[in-house]
């Protein structure tokens, strides 16, 4: 529940805010530091829980600090999107059909870019 309004936030909204704060900082941050720059008014323990969950998912890393941990993103936003795409692809047994459907909906520009990237990587 959101604090004070009784409505649920969309799934992943808070995690996305935490990641945005870490990317913007450009250096490892404590839960309190992340909390201080988040647009939502959250308890430090809520931010700490979100960071632990992101760590458990492999999205952020952490290092010991004076009190607790400091956290840092393991990938930029583009890497995270690519990771999500791979996870979705891995969840379907018929990878070929999934890839075919994906390619069917590419714009001409995206198709050309994909071909360029595949050629560049020797595939």
The domain that holds 40 is classified in CATH as 1.10.10.10
pLDDT band at 40 (very low <50, low <70, confident <90, very high): confident
Q: Can you count the helices (H) and strands (E) in the chain?
A: 6, 2
pLDDT at 2: 47
Cβ contact 23:16 at 8 Å: no
Q: Give the range of the structural domain holding residue 99, as residue numbers without chain letter.
A: 77-120
Residue 42 sits at φ, ψ, to 5 deg, of -125, 155
Q: What is the residue-averaged pLDDT of the chain?
A: 90
Domain assignment of residue 5, yes or no:
no
Is the domain of 67 the same as that of 86?
no
Is the domain of 56 the same as that of 94?
no
pLDDT band at 30 (very low <50, low <70, confident <90, very high): very high
1 to 14, 33, 36: CA distances (angstroms):
11, 23, 20
Mean pLDDT across the stretch 85-113?
Answer: 93
Residue 78 sits at φ, ψ, to 5 deg, of -70, -40
Is the domain of 93 the same as that of 56?
no
Is the domain of 21 the same as that of 68?
yes
Is the domain of 21 the same as that of 67?
yes
Is the domain of 63 the same as that of 85?
no
Give the count of domains, the chain: 2
Is the domain of 64 the same as that of 85?
no
User: Is the pLDDT at 50 greater than 90, yes or no?
Assistant: yes
Q: By C-alpha distance, which of 31, 105, 98, 102 is closest to 68?
A: 31
Rounded to two decimals, the pTM is: 0.74
């Amino acid at each position: 529940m959101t604090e004070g309004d009784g409505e649920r936030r969309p799934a992943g909204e808070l995690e996305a805010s935490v990641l945005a704060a870490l990317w913007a900082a450009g250096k490892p941050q404590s839960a309190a530091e992340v909390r201080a720059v988040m647009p939502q008014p959250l308890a430090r323990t809520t931010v700490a829980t979100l960071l632990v969950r992101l760590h458990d998912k492999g999205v952020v890393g952490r290092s010991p600090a004076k009190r607790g941990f400091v956290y840092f993103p393991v990938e930029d936003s583009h890497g995270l999107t690519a990771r999500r795409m791979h996870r979705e692809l891995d969840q379907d047994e018929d990878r070929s059909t999934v890839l075919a459907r994906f390619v069917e909906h590419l714009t001409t520009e995206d198709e050309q870019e994909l071909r360029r990237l595949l050629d560049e990587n020797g595939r």
